[in-house]
Each structure stands twice: as C-alpha cells, then as structure tokens.
Structure 1
Amino acid sequence: MLSQAGWDVQNAASGLNLHVQGDRRGSGVAVREVTTARGRADYALYVEARLVGVIEAKREGADLSAAETQANGYADHLTDAQQRLVAWRTPLPFRYVSDGGETRFRSTLDPDSRTRRIFSFHQPRTLARWMRQADEDPQAPSYRARLRLRMPELDERPLRPAQITAVQGVENSVALGRGQHGMGQSRSLVQMATGAGKTYTAVTFAYRMLKHARAERVLFLVDRNNLGAQAFAEFENFTTPDTHRKFADLFNVQRLGAEGMLASSKVVISTVQRLYMELTGRRLPDSVPEGEGSEADLPYDVPGDIEVGYNDTIPPEAFDLIVVDECHRSIYGKWRSVLEYFDAPIVGLTATPVAQTFGYFNGNLVSEYTYREAVADGVNVDFSVYEIETRITGEGGVIAQGTVPVRDRRTRRQRYEDIAEDIEYGAKEVGVGIISKDQLRTVIQTFRDRLFTEIFPERAKRDRDTDALLWDEMYVPKTLVFAKNDNHAEEIVEVIRDVFGKGNDFCTKITHAARKPAERLADFRNLPQLRIAVTVDMIATGTDVKPLECLIFLRDVKSWAYFEQMKGRGARTLSLTDFERVTPGVGPKTRFVMVDAVGVTRKPKVDAAPLERHSDKQISLEKLLRKTAAHTIEEEEVSTLASRLAKLDLQMTSEERAEIERISGGVSLKDIVHGMVKAVSTDDQLEAREAAERVGRDPERAVRDLIERALKPLAAAPVLRARLLEMRRAKDILYDENSRDALVRAGAAVDDEESAQATVRGWKQYIDDNRDEIAALTIAFGADSDIPPAVALRRLQDVARSVARPPRSWTPDTLWKAYENLGQALVRKRAKRTAADLLALLRYELAGGAERGAPVPRPHEEAVQERYSAWLARQEQSGVSFSTRARWWLDHIVGATIERVRFDTADLDYAPFTTRNGTDGFLAEFGAHRAEEIIDELDKELGA
C-alpha cells in the first residue's frame, strides 16, 4: 500500500537514505522500526527529509482503536534529537493505523481533529502540499481549519434566500465534519426544489472553497451526460461576486473523458460510471463509448460487483469536496464503493430525497426548500391537472382474429401475421406490447380540441365577426409527452403530426435512441416552431427546458421521486423576454398543466428503491433468464420474469405455443408461469415454511427450493430460453387497428369538496392562532399606514413562506382553489395567484368569511385593474386627460402595485422607471405638487 502511494520503504537499521528520491518536491520515505521516546513506531514517514508522521501497523482484525493510542503516543513523544533536528513540527501531525484491510487517519492540523477511515495512505506529495499550506498560514493550517477561519461573509446579492441557507449550511457542515457515520466521510444533504438553482448554489460554495479554503479540486458527479453539459456551462459562465470574472478564467473546469483527469483541473464533472472506468481502466459490460460530444449514458444496472483498486493518477485524496447532483440515484447500491474510495466530504443535491437518501447522508439535512415554498416565493410556477380518460386506456381491448400488423421492437420493421383467435389485452399492455392507434389518436385529438377552450382558455383567439376559434400553432404551449418506450414514442410522434396537421418541425422525438438527441433538445429549448417533444427518460430528470408549459403523461410512474422529477420539468420560471423568444404574444409563464391520460396523478406512489431492486424497466428478459440458469435470480425478480413471460404468451400464435411445449418436454409456457407465481405467493411460501419447521428443516431453504422447482423447466433448458428470447424480439409489438376508442371523460382534475373544506378549516385555524399579527399585517397595507410598503410586503411573503412549509404545504393557488371549489372566491383563469391574493383571503376571514356574509374575495390583479379603470374614468369626467407619456408612468405604477400590493415611491429609482430618469423624470412629467397628489390618490384607490 505504501509503495503504491509513492513511498520508498526502507529499514532504519541499514542503508537509510532519506534522499533516495532526490530533492524534488513531494519525495517521501517510509522507514520501518523507528525509535521514539515511547518506543518503536512501525513506520515513520519522512517528506522532503522531514519527519511528519507515523504508522502503526497491525495484523488483520486487530483492535485499531488501541493502535490509534499507540500511534498518538509515538507522534506526541519524539526523542530530543528528532524534535530538534528532523521533525517538521511537533507533535507530528499525520497519524495512520492499518491492518491491511482497514486504514484510519488523523491529522492534528485540523481543528477538533478526529480519526476517519481512508481507502489507502496519502501520497507524499499530498502531505508536502499540506505542509506548505500550513507554513503559509499557521493559524489556519488545514483545509478544514480554513473552512472555519478564512471564509469571508457570503455575498448574498446574487442569491435567493433558499440558496443562502444552503450555502451557509453546507460550509458549516463541512467545516465541522458533520454527517459522519462512525469514521466515514462527512456527508451533507441539500434538498432544494426543482428550478430553485441547485447547480448555481453548488458553484457558489465550490468557488468559495476553492478560493478561500484552498480546496485542491472539486468533483461534481452528475446522473446523466446531458446534465454534465449543463453543469459545465453553469461553472464556466458563473460570474464571481467578488472579482466579477468568469469562473473558468480563474479555475480550470473539465468534463472527464477519454483523456483522463488533467492535473490542472480544479473542477471535474463526471458520471459515476465514467469515473469508475477512469479509476479501474475497465469498460463496463454492454457499455457504449462515452466521451466529449457523446450523449450516450452508461448503464447503472451492470452484473457483478463494482470493485475499485488504488489508482496513483487519481488517488483517494484527489478531491477535497464531492458534490453529487440528483443524489437520489447515483450513490446507492454497488456504485457507492466508487464514492467511498475518496477521502473527501460529500454534499448531495436533490429535489426528491427518499428514505435511502436520508439514510446515506446520516440524516444530516443542512437545508430544505420544498416545491410549495418555491411556488410561494415565485421561484417555481404552480400547476393544474387536466385528465383525459378513454375506454381502452382504462380497460384494454381485443384484437380480433385475422391478419394483424406486427412490428419488431429493435428494427421497427413491420410484417403481417395471422392469429387464430382473439387476443384480449389489459390496460397495462397499452403502449408496451400493444399499440392502439385509435387510443393514441383519441387522447391527442382531445388534447388538441380542448387546448384553447379548457386547458389554456386564456389563449383563445376568436374571429370578431363569427366568434370562430382561430388556430395559431405559436400559441400551442411548449409540450413534453412522456412515452413508455422508444417504440411508443415513435407512434406518438406520428399521431401528433397527423392530428395537428403539422410536420417534423412541429413535433419531434427526443430519446437516447434518437439521432443527435442533444441537438434536438437544444432545438426544443430555442426554436419557436418546435412546439411538442416526445421522450421516455432523457428529459425526465434534471434537464432544463424552461419554456415548458404542458406535460402529457402517456405512461404510468410508480416512484414518487421519479414522478416529482418529471413534474419538475414544467415548474421552471424564466423572464418574459426569454419566454416570448419561443412563445410570443401570450404574456409571462404563470403556470403549467399536467395532462394525465393514464391516471398517474391519482395512483399511489412509493419511494424509489435502491438499484439492486430491479423494476420491470431496469432488467431485461435476457438477464432474467441468465440469472435463472445460474440460480442467482432473486425472489422479486421471479415475479418480474413471470410477468414478462405471461405477456409473451399473450402474443404467441397457437403454433408457437405448441413449439414451446415441445421444447420444454410437455409443459406449456402458461403452466411454467403459473408455477412461478405460486412459488412467490405468500400462501404457498407460508405453507412451505410450516412444513419445513414440522420436520426440522430450514424454512428459508424450503422457500428457495420451492422457487427453484418452479424455475427448473427454464433453468434446465437452454434451448427453451434461447427460443423464448427469439420470440420476444420478433413478437414484441402487436397493433390493434380495428378497436375504436371512446372518450370517457376530459376535464380539469377537481379536488373534492371535503378536501377543500379541510384546507379552508386549516387556513382559518392558522389565522385564529395568529390573529393579532395578521390583523396588524392587513392594516400595514392601508394607505394611511406608516409602515413602508416594502416592509409590509416582506411580512406578507413571510406568511406565504410559512404556510408553504410542511405540514400545511399551502400556496396562494392552493388556498384560492379551495375557496373557489366551495364557491367562496371568484374564479380566476389567468395569471397565477400571488401573496397579494393571500391578503384578500386574510381580510375575508378577518371580516367573518362566509358565516358573516363578508364580500367574496376577488383576485388582486383584476381588482387593481378595475379600480384603475374607474379612477381614469373619473379623471376624464372631471376634465383631466393624460398624454401617452403620462400614461406610461401611470400604467407602470399600476403594474408595480399589482406586483407589490402597495406602490413604494422608492420604486421610482428602479427599473422600469429608471429608463425615463426615475424620480426626476416622474416629477418633470407631472410637476412636484401634482406628482405627490397622484401617488396619494393611486395609493388610496388601488391599495388592497
């Protein structure tokens, strides 16, 4: 281990040469059996001929805690000669203990230094760098010391409040070494809603650690290649708040590729698979090339264990910080060994932590910012659900006997086959083994027909004379359709182009199987004419397409975390300028709509499981059969295999079923599947356990025997397994061309009355519990209030953030919809609800609500616009008219009032007013006396 790390190992008794590696920087010699004032240390470590540390070596399995005490004794008690002549400093700071299987390390340069496990000994050049840094700054001699003592105040100006909390939380946690389990790495978890700026947050604290704590290098681990490209752009384009230079001008940023890790790199961006390949020099089984410009993602699901050995080019101390983006996936199961190779604190970023996430990070959640809080802050937009139910989607259908089209899954080559009997298929088969063109057409036709009347009614443009709906494809929201697989995506694209009567420029497929998917993704972001994209997984997590306003689910999702990631694609906000660049003429993005065509929003979700627990989509039939032959198939995989074979049996012809029965020695595929289902059933397993216990056998062995007997027809027949795979590949997709689908229901998903009542009751209770503070808050928005409008607005936003946090999780939209559903608020179809609308609901309840006949609350924006129109009308009646230039000022004051509830004269010195000389321009336009009168009048007339 020492030699691997670059140490020259010598004996103290003979031939000692501390200069054997020359006088170069970072030379290191490990000397055996060196005597100290407390006895002989197994190894003394010399760097550049200076004594810097000791190693206490033990046989495997020995008590390493006792060995630590010995090592500390040697490091703390040197001989006089050692102290005066050769020690770099005393006591010696670097202390190691090892039994060959486990190595522990402690550096007394760290404040509150503690022992931690490491993969192997540090290289001498690493210790040399640490020594130089300690000599340069004796008061903060180590990375962790600098994190505590040398980090300047955070410049909060470019950050949102949630980002400030996250940066401070991470820095504090890493500096104190929190989140350790035993002697492992320090681990910190940041939960931040999609769209709230996780990557920008990470770049911020990475920059501060590189510059002020002098971190050597940062690893930024991403889930997918396209996310690596996004992260690379974020790092490169980050403007440093102190010097106002680009990050890439100060620190080299690298995406790890075939050239390996560059010595000059300060930030390395990689997937865990690419990092594994770089560490081991091995390729992953069944992997595809990955490098600069390649968008192919290497698989997570690989057979065998992921083992990592020492790599002197990328040693365990190569990074001082590891950031794991979308950490709900890449840190679990067999891949965690790659991360645990490194001696560095780990920071996880995710919007959707599950139980395994909290477990991995030892419960050290340093900041939390939920989706509801992000909506309350205007960081994300809220959503609504529109449901489309069809008969085939809910019930399945029947393919009548006769000649039917069959398409090969891999080549998509179509042929026709005769089937001798009707084939019934269920709802789960739709889009996977069965394609019903009419089902797809019914869903997409309903979406098109209802798009401007029910889903986005505010975009309806009608002929002035005939009132006919005018169709403009540019008003079609940027829409992402989630398909079940690549073949399903192909069919959906064809149907969308046909139903909308548009070509390739209007709708495209963006999957890993598509040609140049990265270019297509960029086109979808940036081209106005490309309105709809169909994907499977490529845009499901992490990938930003901010102008998205509509998500169509044509696939079910069982994982809560994955569903939240998919939902998050539509939640991103962007400026009006950027939005109108791709969707002109419809105003700002204020919401997004999930079109649920499969019931995904109503079905229960579960937390994502570790990657060892394969879902149907994570492990192929070929792998399941291979594991069956090797007797290594897990119980839950038997259920998956049974499901796959049952689907295949459904698609077979009678001749093929007879062939399978002949190959298997007289057992039908249906009987094989039936035996497998019984073997994993709770009742049959309980019976097997009880029978085993009665005769003194191991009950778990009895269950395994039950499973293996059920699998024997497959395990003992390689020819049968091969033929099943051939049939699967050849008979993957049947087309139902005859069944006609029917729309069952289409409309907005409505919360039931009971749910709305529960929300309103909770809201009333919140007001009652905080009545004095809320009453004072509503008074603060009166025109006669002495409280500055900006302060009043901050207090209102604090209330919005407070109720957005669990367990309430209320946004202004959530509350307003509850009142709408109970008929206690005016229905509002356009802009999203804001904190100003929350004020209307507060005043409504303080006035007694429905019980006392209080006036029904009205949406703030509409109320302000109506009051403004009435004020203008009164001015005109009294003979006052305003020029176009004067109306510009008045209109923008109204806009500011809509946004901030009350107008603050200080706003005149900010955009957009500064484009016309701010306060001076306003006074010049109206005159000092009239200007003051207008502000007072508008404050009284427009205020909530």
Structure 2
Amino acid sequence: MDKKTLTERDICTKFINPALEQAGWDLQAQVREEVSFTAGRIIVRGRLHTRGKRRRADYVLSYKKNIPIAIIEAKDNNHSLGDGMQQALAYSDALDAPFVFSSNGDGFLFHDRTGLFGKTESTLALNEFPSPDTLWALYCRYKGIDQAAARQTVEQPYYDDGSGRSPRYYQTVAINRTVEAVARGQNRILLVMATGTGKTFTAFQIIWRLWKSKRKKRILFLADRNILVDQTKNNDFKPFGQAMTKVSNRTVDPSYEIYLSLYQAVTGSEEEQNIYKQFSPDFFDLVVIDECHRGSAAVDSAWRQILDYFSAATHIGLTATPKETREVSNIDYFGEPVYTYSLKQGIEDGFLAPYKVVRVDIDRDLQGWRPSKGQTDKNGELIEDRIYNQKDFDRNLVLEKRTELVARKVTEFMTQTAPYQKTIVFCEDIDHAERMRQALVNLNPQRVQENRKYIMRITGDEQEGKAELDNFINPEERYPVIATTSKLMTTGVDAQTCKLIVLDQRIQSMTEFKQIIGRGTRINDDYNKHWFTIIDFKKATELFADPDFDGDPVKVYSPRGDDPINPDDEHAPEDEQPDDMLGDEAGTYDVDPEEEWSSDDTPAGDWNNTNDDPPKRIKYVVGNVEVSVIAERVQYLGPDGKLITESLKDFTRQQVKERYATLSDFLRRWNEADRKQVIIDELAEQGVIWDDLIKEVSKKLGAEPDPFDVICHIVYDQPPLSRKERAEQVRKQNYFNKYEGASKQVLNALLDKYTDAGIEPIEDVKVLTLAPFSQIGAPMELLQAFGGKPGYTQAVKQLEDELYQQTS
C-alpha cells in the first residue's frame, strides 16, 4: 500500500483508528471524529446572511462524555508527522484539552501541556498511543482532582434528556472548570460569560453534576429579578422537578433540596423581613448568584448579608459583566474568573449576533446651547445662564425638537429596513422615555392605529407598560414593536428578536454599556434574527474603543478602611439605583425608580450618600430651539471584533491587498477559481461588506455591479462595469453560436440569471430546477444536453471566463 496515495480520511480509517483501539479507546463512547465546535461567524449580506467556516477538530478524545482531554489532528501522508500540531494546539486552547497529537499515519507527534509526561513534545509509534486510563490519571493530577472523592464528583455525567441537546464547547469548558474547582475544595468561584451565551443552562449543568454526585446536597440559586427566577424554574431548571421550590416572602419549607429565590423576597430593612434567617447558616452547601455584578457585588449592600450569612457554603458567581471599580469588586470576593467567554469570542464563533453602528451627531449636542439673558422655559422657570451640552440634554434641560429629531431618525430607519423589528430605545430617565414614546407615536400614526401597543413605554413606575415586557420579549408576539425605557430593560431581558437598539442615553458605566449591548446579541434562526443595529445619538458607542469593553476584568478595588462608599463619576454603580429591576417584591420609591444618581448630578452639600431622599432636580423644557443632524456615519464590526473606524473603501483596500497585493494577483486567483463565490465568501470573512460597497458603486453606474468589479474599482482603481454590461459584451462576441438546442437556451438563461442576481445562482446546479430552466426541460435532460454534469460544469466555467475576459 502506497500511503502517499491515500486521502486524509483513509489515513484516519486505516491507521489512526486501529491505533486508538489497540490503546484501549472505545471508538463509540470516547472518540468523536470530525467535531465541529463553532457555528461559523455570521456574515451579513444586505438583509440576508451566510456563515463562515466552522472550526473542526479531526478527533476529540474524552475519558468521560463531555470532558475532552485530548485532540488529534490528522493529515495525509504527504505531510510530515507534526504538520497538524499548531492547528491542534489552537483547538486545544479552545476545548481545554491538555494532550495534543498530530499524525500522518506513520505515528504520532505528542505535545503534553501538563508537564507531567516527560518531554513537552515527543514522537510515538502507532502502537505507543497512551491508554485512556493513562491520560485520565495525568489529567486528574494536572487538575488537582486525583483524590477518589474529587474524581467521583468530576466523573458525574451531565444531565441528558435524550433530545440531543448538549452543552456548546465553551459551556463545557465553563462547567468542567467550575466542577473541578469545587472538587478541589475552592469555595469562591466566578464565571464570566457574555450575555446570550447560556449562563443559566451552564449553571443548571454545574448544579446537576454537583447534586447528583452528592458533593452538594442543598443548593440556593439567587437572582435579583422575578422574571429571571421564574424563567429559570420553568425552563433550564425544570429537570430538578419535585426537589425544587421557589422561596416566597413567607415561612420557608426545609424539605426541598434546590431553592430558587429573589434577593428581595428574603431580605428587608426589618428583621422579620429577613426570611433567609429561617434557614440555619449551614443549611446550604452551595449558593449560585446570578448576575453577581449587581447587588451582591457591593460590600455594604443588604444583599451581601445573605452571602455572609451562608458564608460556609461554596459561592459561584455568574455574570456577563464583572464589576471592577475602585469601590466594588467581584474579583475581590470570588477570585479571578475560572473561565471567561467574551462577546468578541461569541461573535467570532457564530453563537452571538454581530452588529453595525449608526452614529448620529446632532449640532446642539456638539456645539452646545446657551439661553438668552432672563430666558424662561415652557413652565416659566428661569433658565440658569450657562452652556448646556450633550451631558445636560434630557437630564437637566429638554430641547423638545431634539426629541422629535431622534424619533424621526429612528422612524426613518425602521421604515427603510423593517417597520416591525423589535426595537429598544434607551432614554435618560422615565420622563425622557415618556416624551420619546409620544414623539414616536406622532410619527407613526398608521402603525399605532393598527395596534396602540406598537409603541410602549416599559419602565419601572408604570404597570401598563411593565405588563407588556413579556410580550415584547416573546418572539411570537408582534406587539409591542418599539419599547422606550430607561433602566428597566438594561439587564436580564431575554429579547431574542431585538434587531434595533437606540442609544439616546449618556452611558459612562462599562458594566451598563455591556448589558445594553447584550440585549441585541442573541440569535434566533426561527425568526431570522442574525444581526442587529445600534443607532447612537450620544457617543455611547465610543466605549467600544475602550480596552475594557471586551477584555478581561482587571481588579482595581481598593477599600479604604471605614471610608463610606460613594458613587464614582466614571462608573456610577447601578446597584445603588432603587429601580424596579428589583422585581415584583421590590418596594416603592418617592424618587424616579429608574434614576441613576452619580456624584456629578448631586448639588454640593445637598445629598451626600445619606439616608435622605435626593433633592428634586429642576429640568428645564425649551420648545423653540432648532436642532439638526450635522454628521451621520455607519461603523461596521471588523473581523478582529473591533469597529471599523476608517472609511469602508479604505478598510476594503487594506483587507484585499493583504491577500492580493496587485491586480494581477487578484485576477490570477479569480480566473483559477472553480467557483467565484468561494472568493466572494472568503473576502466576506475578512470583513468586506459587500452589500454597502455594491450600493456605493451602483450609484456611480446607475446599475448593480458584479463583486468582481467592486474589488477592481475600489481596490485597484479600474473602471467598473455593471452585470448587465458584462452580459451584453458576452452576447456581442457571438459566444453562443457554438451551441444549439437546449444547451444554447440554458446558457442564454444563465446569462439572464447572472444579469438579474449575480454569479452565485449560476454556480449552483440547483438553478436548473427553477424557472425558466424548468420550462426548457427536466434537470437531467438539461445536463444531458451538455453530455452530462461534467460537460455542464465545464460550459458554466467557460461562460464565466467569457464574462470576465475583457478585464483580465
């Protein structure tokens, strides 16, 4: 047998699989082949989308199901033994598997990341592959779980309902690292996972394995919003069945094992309201804190008292946005995260939706506005004489025409794109949210007449709006379409189909910004939700450029003895807000229940973190000041996870020239490609925004160009042709004269299809099942007109050569 003639798949079947079996690996239970572990980055094409390549490991080896311990990357025998090693190491990084192998069928190159095997890299013969027990024993030593009780905990299988649903790769890593940390005896654990990546399902699997292994027998799951507790109980935690209960604000029943509770349901300012004290301090041996960046993060919060009371238990904190300020620190309490899965990584893997940003700059925001001497507002209040700017608008001073302008821009965008796309408009406070609702209602009379709930204010102070929150987040409910809000919808709102986020709110807290962006990141295939748009009126998206936006949390907490904790200008803690995010059991407040007070809002000496209510702030209302948009630009999410800040043309030139330095290089690759669509898709993965580039060149041509012409024109300064012009040039060459009958009809129809829809459909043989081809003959008959499928494929290739001949 000549190994050099064998395919990679042959190498796997004839050499690698027998070597694994000989070493004692169960090919059915312990070995998975060709494992795709990402979904493929979503690439947006106008209103359509496609997926980039999935990451795929040739082999993932597990001692127990869903605990990957080894990766094998296979190559055909024309490659060296170690040619696949760097690729395998990259998969090892993602899957958290410390033993890495590459093979070409002659043997294995073994890379040991534990440092326990001997040399870091060594060559093994085919019959020297390590057994499952050998690698598992090394894995347990490496992870510090080599005691019998610890191994029993870690080996406890996941919950499996038989539906085929299993944790995604990053959820698997998060679950395994957390269970391993508990098995080692670690009592404070932090998990950081981006919004929309399944923290609750991950928490369920962690609790399930610890509970089933009897490592943890009584568990408390804490959340700070009623809807989160109910969603958890009815969905992900449902398999706990009769062992689970929700704690009410009455007497507790100690006969259950899994308890779900709202912070506010078990605490209060009066001792009798502290229901949690009906449990003994050692009742729970595990406490899981959802959204732990909120109330429990602050040292002096009432909610932290619960954690202090159950301090003997293991505490696991879950958050998308760990809070790290000079006053508040998740890391100080829980320690460094055992695992972080970021928004950037989620988008790159295709599990989270990408976004584009429309930045709208308003003249008064940038230039400011000053009242004339003695000017009063609509309510007769004398307006303080100073310059008001973006920081003041809708907080200290209302320009009514500014509100109308924002509402008009939002309405225009929705009218041009999708009038019924779920939209959240984030406003400065409840008053601003109500004025924005009114402005939007007046600009959308027809939609509101269809259904008065087309636009709703959903804020913490008003039951009618709050009652519509469930309908807004329910994909099956059309109404409400637009929700104006302030704080209520910043966190914990699982709005799977939200396609538009409008920021008319000045956001200084990175935690809050991440939470707001998280409202749009979920993907819902059933409702065609694969990306979203952010319209930013207040420069909030400048935070995307902050290194902290998607980086690892950095501990900056520095307690100063008995100093009082004061809100910080740059990171005004939303935990201090008495808003209705706290859930149904929360109390009522005299102040705006969604207002966020920071030190720059507070008049000196009037309110300095005392128990007194903050002073009523005067908000001037001015109706006769003209406002206008002075700049508007679209920013796109680049392949590196950062917003493209240069012009789209400059970015495209840079990306394409990295692959094809000259026009000749590009033409050579284009002409050699069996399918042109492959090149188009490759460039899309590099960040080329085809839809917007095509629109730009179309304006110049008055007709739609081929992607080929877009690149030649924008990158290499060649004059572009429209698809119609290219098709007409082919017809002028009398190209079809060498064909007759059905084959000539098919090629003519293909050229028409190219003119109408571009290169992609004519490269797919399925086009023969559509009109007008179906009227010429059945697909098999049409293929036979070319002597069979190879002849048809060759004819399409020659047609493409003719289409692009005059440029090359």
TM-score (norm 2): 0.55
Match of 1:317 in 2: 284
Match of 2:409 in 1: 446
Match of 2:103 in 1: none
Partner of residue 164 from structure 1, selected from 162, 165, 169: 169
Match of 1:256 in 2: 247
Q: Which ranges in structure 1 are unaligned for 5 or more consecutive residues?
A: 1-110, 116-138, 237-246, 285-289, 291-307, 407-416, 460-473, 579-587, 624-638, 646-672, 674-710, 769-776, 801-810, 828-836, 867-872, 882-886, 906-920
Cα shift at 1:392: 5.2
Q: Give 1:324's aligned amino acid.
A: I
C-alpha distance in structure 2 between counterparts of 1:763 and 1:476, whole Å: 36
C-alpha distance in structure 1 between counterparts of 2:577 and 2:193, whole Å: 38
Deviations 1:657-697 (A, max 9, x none): xxxxxxxxxxxxxxxx5xxxxxxxxxxxxxxxxxxxxxxxx
C-alpha distance in structure 1 between counterparts of 2:212 and 2:660, whole Å: 47
Cα shift at 1:539: 1.1
Spell out the pairing of 1:663-702 with structure 2 (5 A cutoff).
Answer: 673=604
C-alpha distance in structure 2 between counterparts of 1:856 and 1:140, whole Å: 70
Deviations 1:517-547 (A, max 9, x none): 5531122234324321101111112311122
Q: SS at the partner of 1:552?
A: strand
Cα separation, partners in 2 of 1:902 and 1:385, compared to 1, 3 Å? same
Confirm or deny: 8 A CA contact 2:362 2:627 kept in the other structure: no
Deviations 1:30-77 (A, max 9, x none): xxxxxxxxxxxxxxxxxxxxxxxxxxxxxxxxxxxxxxxxxxxxxxxx
Spell out the pairing of 1:768-779 with structure 2 (5 A cutoff).
Answer: none
Q: SS at the partner of 2:341?
A: strand
Match of 2:421 in 1: 477
Match of 2:629 in 1: 743
Cα separation, partners in 2 of 1:855 and 1:184, compared to 1, 3 Å? farther
C-alpha distance in structure 2 between counterparts of 1:225 and 1:904, whole Å: 53
Q: SS at the partner of 1:602?
A: helix
Partner of residue 487 from structure 1, selected from 418, 421, 431: 431
Q: SS at the partner of 1:753?
A: coil
Cα separation, partners in 2 of 1:622 and 1:337, compared to 1, 3 Å? closer
Confirm or deny: 8 A CA contact 1:509 1:535 kept in the other structure: yes
Match of 1:570 in 2: 520
Confirm or deny: 8 A CA contact 2:196 2:522 kept in the other structure: yes
Match of 1:556 in 2: 506
Cα separation, partners in 2 of 1:855 and 1:437, compared to 1, 3 Å? closer
2:309 is equivalent to residue 333 of structure 1: no
Cα shift at 1:360: 4.3
Q: Give 2:533's aligned amino acid.
A: V
Q: SS at the partner of 1:429?
A: coil
Structure number with greater Rg is: 1
Deviations 1:398-443 (A, max 9, x none): 277476444xxxxxxxxxx464986764432221232221110122
Confirm or deny: 8 A CA contact 2:468 2:480 kept in the other structure: no
Match of 2:458 in 1: 510
Confirm or deny: 8 A CA contact 1:902 1:939 kept in the other structure: yes
Q: SS at the partner of 2:371?
A: strand
Cα separation, partners in 2 of 1:418 and 1:396, compared to 1, 3 Å? closer
C-alpha distance in structure 2 between counterparts of 1:262 and 1:399, whole Å: 66
C-alpha distance in structure 2 between counterparts of 1:779 and 1:934, whole Å: 19
Q: Give 1:230's aligned amino acid.
A: Q
Q: SS at the partner of 1:327?
A: coil
C-alpha distance in structure 1 between counterparts of 2:788 and 2:461, whole Å: 63
Confirm or deny: 8 A CA contact 1:382 1:590 kept in the other structure: no
Cα shift at 1:820: 5.2
Cα shift at 1:490: 1.3
Match of 2:496 in 1: 546
Cα shift at 1:551: 1.3
C-alpha distance in structure 2 between counterparts of 1:874 and 1:221, whole Å: 72
Match of 2:157 in 1: 151
C-alpha distance in structure 2 between counterparts of 1:857 and 1:145, whole Å: 67
Q: Which ranges in structure 2 are unaligned for 5 or more consecutive residues?
A: 1-139, 560-564, 579-596, 637-643, 662-668, 701-706, 729-734, 744-748, 767-777
Partner of residue 174 from structure 1, selected from 179, 184, 199: 179
Cα separation, partners in 2 of 1:491 and 1:823, compared to 1, 3 Å? closer
Confirm or deny: 8 A CA contact 1:402 1:420 kept in the other structure: yes
Q: SS at the partner of 1:505?
A: helix
Identity of aligned residues (%): 16
Q: Give 1:185's aligned amino acid.
A: N
Confirm or deny: 8 A CA contact 1:404 1:735 kept in the other structure: yes
2:542 is equivalent to residue 602 of structure 1: yes
Partner of residue 368 from structure 1, selected from 338, 341, 349: 341
C-alpha distance in structure 1 between counterparts of 2:225 and 2:795, whole Å: 53
2:371 is equivalent to residue 398 of structure 1: yes
C-alpha distance in structure 2 between counterparts of 1:620 and 1:331, whole Å: 9
Cα separation, partners in 2 of 1:325 and 1:524, compared to 1, 3 Å? same
TM-score (norm 1): 0.48
Deviations 1:761-820 (A, max 9, x none): 58866999xxxxxxxx99998579xxxx9xx99xx99x99xxxxxxxxxx9374548995
Confirm or deny: 8 A CA contact 2:358 2:632 kept in the other structure: no
Cα separation, partners in 2 of 1:549 and 1:737, compared to 1, 3 Å? same
Match of 2:187 in 1: 185
C-alpha distance in structure 2 between counterparts of 1:206 and 1:923, whole Å: 57
Confirm or deny: 8 A CA contact 1:190 1:347 kept in the other structure: no
Cα separation, partners in 2 of 1:496 and 1:344, compared to 1, 3 Å? same
Spell out the pairing of 1:877-888 with structure 2 (5 A cutoff).
Answer: 880=742
Confirm or deny: 8 A CA contact 1:195 1:571 kept in the other structure: yes
Q: SS at the partner of 1:270?
A: strand
Confirm or deny: 8 A CA contact 1:253 1:265 kept in the other structure: yes
Cα separation, partners in 2 of 1:857 and 1:271, compared to 1, 3 Å? farther
C-alpha distance in structure 2 between counterparts of 1:488 and 1:615, whole Å: 24
Cα separation, partners in 2 of 1:544 and 1:935, compared to 1, 3 Å? farther
Q: SS at the partner of 1:428?
A: coil
Confirm or deny: 8 A CA contact 2:190 2:331 kept in the other structure: no
Cα separation, partners in 2 of 1:565 and 1:640, compared to 1, 3 Å? closer
Q: Give 2:472's aligned amino acid.
A: F
Deviations 1:467-519 (A, max 9, x none): xxxxxxx7343221101111111111111112222543221111111215553
2:459 is equivalent to residue 501 of structure 1: no
Match of 1:381 in 2: 354
Match of 2:71 in 1: none
Q: Give 1:351's aligned amino acid.
A: A
Match of 2:73 in 1: none
Cα shift at 1:574: 1.2
Confirm or deny: 8 A CA contact 2:506 2:539 kept in the other structure: yes
Q: SS at the partner of 1:174?
A: helix
Q: Give 1:552's aligned amino acid.
A: V
C-alpha distance in structure 2 between counterparts of 1:160 and 1:779, whole Å: 43
Cα separation, partners in 2 of 1:250 and 1:397, compared to 1, 3 Å? same
Cα shift at 1:558: 0.8
C-alpha distance in structure 2 between counterparts of 1:488 and 1:541, whole Å: 19
Deviations 1:237-285 (A, max 9, x none): xxxxxxxxxx44745443332245544544333344445559x95548x
Cα shift at 1:188: 4.2
Q: RMSD of the alignment, in Å? A: 6.3
Partner of residue 753 from structure 1, selected from 630, 646, 670: 646
Match of 2:35 in 1: none
